Structure 1
Amino acid sequence: MYSFLSLLFSFAAIAGGLILFRRWRYRRLNLPPGSLGLPFIGETLQLISLYKTDNPEPFMDERMKRYGPIFMTHVFGEATVFSADPDTNRFILANEGKLFEISYPGSISNLLGKHSLLLMKGNLHKRMHSMTMSFASSTILKDHLLADADRLIQLSMDSWSNRVLLLEQAKKITFDLTTKQLMSFDPDEWTESLRKHYVLVIEGFFAIPFTLFSTTYRRAIKARTKVVEALTPVVRERRKRSEIDGERKKDMLGAMLASGDQFSDDEIVDFLLALIVGGYETTSTIMTLAIKFLTDTPLALAQLKEEHDQIRSRSKPGAPLEWADYKSMIFTQCVVNETLRMANIIGGIFRRTTTDININGYTIPKGWKVFASLRAVHLNPDHFKDARTFNPWRWQNKSETTVPGNVYAPFGGGPRLCPGYELARVVLSVFLHRIVTTFSWVPAEEDKLVFFPTTRTQKRLPLIVKRREESSHCI
């Protein structure tokens, strides 16, 4: 008993000493207001427990009321400055590679690979980011990506009957479209097998990055190996064909093989692996949340149906969507904007300071993490009236359609602006067109949003769907 009390006293003394030393050290710096919490643990437990509520930003809300839009805390083992200030967020995003550098959990870095676009730096990142954006440009979207999206979405919906888990269906659609864009593959048994491995890889993103302690992470590492084993022969075969007969398909793999950078097979595989993750997870979730918001807002759904029924009335039955159809989707774009505002899949971005930084009168020490919260800005009533209410009509107002880029930033910004931002908008618009003109639906059971570690629906949005000509009793 005496030994236990002695040990407990020693631990308390060490913890108290650490707190006093930390206060003395940081008092010399003009740090943002806030609390670093307990040694080692910080405020991590508070952050995780608060996000179990229905509030999309409980951790940010509580501290912003107390400290303002910029505050310090200590989460996931590191001192971190959080920002919900639009100008500060823009400063962080714009100074990527200068004052800040990327910083992601080890689990994500290990599973994506060191050659992924997410982890690239410097000139190589600039070149690859530019190449990726070129494959989702307006010209390519108009020439063939719109048609690919329309065809693959209809192909997937052909199998819908009675009850569907919308998130699962949306993920299949986005995976099929991404593999088509990157490697020119149409859906088949090989792509479906690859997708199942990807599901396991993504599950490991927020696991403890040690195979000994985490079954989820161990399973994700094995799944990543399977993905690499599937992609590597594809890359080798395409390289062989391009060298022998000059064959070059108009996809991302073809562009990488034809570039002057002489990428190795391993580099190309890492690059493709990460791009598939990006297209698969984020766009599919946005598609699902759009339907969730519309289902909960019948007036918006009715107006959206009216717009798309008018588009269909101008075309022959079964005709594919044309670029002019997409450009005529005025209210649809309001729905897209509002969905993106309400449902940032990633609440913000982490960066690490490369030097002491003075910003807004505060000093952020070198080596600290910063978190630019995009969602907290989007949900701030100072920037959007009734900010936590889904209201697509707000985007018809001149004041909101001209909102500054630092206030509305669903795709990030700066050198790491999401390269597929325009493609995501097109895919979501086409998906909305096909689902509202083909189906009526009601929720199969109550579902709600979850906001940590990413925004999603708790039960993958189960719906009872019927083709519109079959029933008029659904939504």
Structure 2
Amino acid sequence: MAFSFSFTAFLLLLSSISAAFLLLLRRTRYRRMGLPPGSLGLPLIGETLQLIGAYKTENPEPFIDERVARYGSVFMTHVFGEPTVFSADPETNRFVLQNEGKLFECSYPASICNLLGKHSLLLMKGSLHKRMHSLTMSFANSSIIKDHLMLDIDRLVRFNLDSWSSRVLLMEEAKKITFELTVKQLMSFDPGEWSESLRKEYLLVIEGFFSLPLPLFSTTYRKAIKARRKVAEALTVVVMKRREEEEEGAERKKDMLAALLAAEDGFSDEEIVDFLVALLVAGYETTSTIMTLAVKFLTETPLALAQLKEEHEKIRAMKSDSESLEWSDYKSMPFTQCVVNETLRVANIIGGVFRRAMTDVEIKGYKIPKGWKVFSSFRAVHLDPNHFKDARTFNPWRWQSNSVTTSPSNVFTPFGGGPRLCPGYELARVALSVFLHRLVTGFSWVPAEQDKLLFFPTTRTQKRYPIIVKRRDGRLSAT
């Protein structure tokens, strides 16, 4: 018995010494390679569990903050099965974003790639991506919004708000608005049964983005694949019908689908469907979350809400009840833009982006080996007190300060940057501004119950932010 115990203890001691020796060898080898400081964690799983654990709480910052304090703003780790360099440094982030297609390429989980489709804008590369990115931006720039989309945005916001009951789940209502707006922009469809049934399938698709991409082992992924197939079938019918209409000489519509069909080199139905699938996701999920969190942050900051109401009441006083908002009204919302900026900064709907090194890359005196992933963390920069005073506090007035508005552009990157800058960034800002105008001039509200923020797999509120609303004109809410 004593011999058995001693031998077991000896084996444990030997294993511990061996593990420590191997770890020391690995660290020494990495130092010689010039890699950023950091830890790759446990074999296979690395530090994935620590990362996910942090992002499942209301305060995910410690994962990055603790490592920045220990190693600096650029450090290495091992997450989601791959060695990864994390950057909480704005200059490094800008370098990574600006060298898209030269030194780095986009890299996303297999589940996202499979559900979006190989022809989606997110996965395109090179000249094709440049061409399609430019086309997308041409349908969401200031002149297009001013001349065509402003009226649609205002009309869809009012249409949805008019249907509200006394208790609403704000995140769900915001999703309806942004989805219907995106469908209108892409395919000229008005709200109805078709768009709502398509939206419900999209919910299942998005839920599968961060699931295990194996249908046999993941019910969520299996449902997402099935829903994606239904979405593709519905969009294929739309594309085929539009082709037939144009061949028969029907008047060409002024939407994204018409532009894709008229493209000089031409696109197949499959390519167009993949493209539309990705744009619907991009326009739907992020903007609706920004809308919801703007209301949440304003509700928790009464002085900011009061100043916002004052700004919008001045605009309302100059218009009749039936009159739509115009571009000049949008340009008369300076404090609203401060609220938009601060919501984007604090919420960090896009917390960062993954890229893969296409070759060995030197950054800040460190080497990133070819094939390694890089995560440029926008969230870490936006919440860094070195760049924003009291960075964790929602303070829209900070954007009235010259020190913030004149800070380097790489410090505030809510829409990414470089060749993959979000093409709909201006449209998102306008949609949020119009939504806030109609909300604060038409309603008062209070939270229906306590709700909290969650950050994994995406930023959202746990209970979809339920609120009790009351119409300011005295009309009864819909039931």
1:136 maps onto 2:140 in alignment? yes
CA RMSD of aligned residues (A): 2.1
State whether residues 19 and 39 of structure 1, in contact with CA within 8 Å, keep that contact through their aligned partners in structure 2. no
Question: What do the CA deviations read for 1:170-215 (whole angstroms, capped 9, x no partner)?
Answer: 0000000000000000011011100000000000001011101110
**Stretches of 4+ aligned residues off by more than 4 angstroms:** 4-21
CA distance in 2, matches of 1:207, 1:195: 20
Of the structure 1 ranges 265-274 and 49-58, higher mean CA displacement relative to structure 2 is found in 49-58
CA distance in 2, matches of 1:447, 1:437: 24
Provide the residue aligned with 1:399 in structure 2.
403
1:265 maps onto 2:269 in alignment? yes
Count of aligned residue pairs for this structure pair = 469
Provide the residue aligned with 2:334 in structure 1.
330
State whether residues 18 and 39 of structure 1, in contact with CA within 8 Å, keep that contact through their aligned partners in structure 2. no
1:226 maps onto 2:230 in alignment? yes
Provide the residue aligned with 1:439 in structure 2.
443
> For residue 55 of structure 1, what is the amino acid of its counterpart?
N
Of the structure 1 ranges 6-15 and 227-236, higher mean CA displacement relative to structure 2 is found in 6-15
Structure 1 SS opposite 2:410: coil
The aligned runs of 1:90-239 (5 Å cut-off) are 90-239=94-243
CA distance in 2, matches of 1:15, 1:39: 11
Question: What do the CA deviations read for 1:341-377 (whole angstroms, capped 9, x no partner)?
Answer: 1111121000000111111010111100000000110
| TM-score, with length taken from structure 1 | 0.95
Of the structure 1 ranges 86-95 and 17-26, higher mean CA displacement relative to structure 2 is found in 17-26
CA distance in 2, matches of 1:296, 1:241: 51
CA distance in 2, matches of 1:15, 1:238: 64
CA distance in 2, matches of 1:310, 1:190: 38
Cα distance, 1:11 vs structure 2: 9.4
Cα distance, 1:242 vs structure 2: 1.7
Could you tell me which of 242, 248, 255 is aligned with 1:251? Answer: 255
Cα distance, 1:8 vs structure 2: 9.7
Cα distance, 1:53 vs structure 2: 3.2
- Summarize the Cα distance change of 1:14–1:210 in structure 2 as closer, same or farther, 3 Å threshold: farther
Of the structure 1 ranges 399-408 and 190-199, higher mean CA displacement relative to structure 2 is found in 399-408
Could you tell me which of 262, 266, 285 is aligned with 2:289? Answer: 285
- Summarize the Cα distance change of 1:303–1:56 in structure 2 as closer, same or farther, 3 Å threshold: farther
State whether residues 166 and 460 of structure 1, in contact with CA within 8 Å, keep that contact through their aligned partners in structure 2. yes
1:68 maps onto 2:72 in alignment? yes
Cα distance, 1:244 vs structure 2: 2.7
CA distance in 2, matches of 1:15, 1:331: 58
Could you tell me which of 370, 376, 380 is aligned with 2:374? Answer: 370
Unaligned runs of 5+ in 2: none
Question: What do the CA deviations read for 1:88-127 (whole angstroms, capped 9, x no partner)?
Answer: 0000000000100110000000000000000000000000
Cα distance, 1:52 vs structure 2: 3.4
Cα distance, 1:56 vs structure 2: 4.1
| TM-score, with length taken from structure 2 | 0.94
Question: What do the CA deviations read for 1:411-448 (whole angstroms, capped 9, x no partner)?
Answer: 00000000000000000000000000111000000011
> For residue 339 of structure 1, what is the amino acid of its counterpart?
T
CA distance in 2, matches of 1:51, 1:179: 31
CA distance in 2, matches of 1:199, 1:12: 48
Of the structure 1 ranges 451-460 and 199-208, higher mean CA displacement relative to structure 2 is found in 451-460
Of the structure 1 ranges 36-45 and 412-421, higher mean CA displacement relative to structure 2 is found in 36-45
Structure 2 SS opposite 1:28: helix
Work out the percentage of aligned pairs sharing the same amino acid. Answer: 74
Cα distance, 1:9 vs structure 2: 11
Of the structure 1 ranges 87-96 and 445-454, higher mean CA displacement relative to structure 2 is found in 445-454
State whether residues 350 and 415 of structure 2, in contact with CA within 8 Å, keep that contact through their aligned partners in structure 1. no
CA distance in 2, matches of 1:370, 1:127: 25
Cα distance, 1:469 vs structure 2: 3.1
State whether residues 46 and 81 of structure 2, in contact with CA within 8 Å, keep that contact through their aligned partners in structure 1. yes
The aligned runs of 1:5-44 (5 Å cut-off) are 19=23, 22-23=26-27, 25-44=29-48
Cα distance, 1:453 vs structure 2: 2.5
Question: What do the CA deviations read for 1:298-352 (whole angstroms, capped 9, x no partner)?
Answer: 0000110111111000111221101111110111001001001111112100000
Cα distance, 1:28 vs structure 2: 2.5
Structure 2 SS opposite 1:445: coil
> For residue 250 of structure 1, what is the amino acid of its counterpart?
K
Unaligned runs of 5+ in 1: none
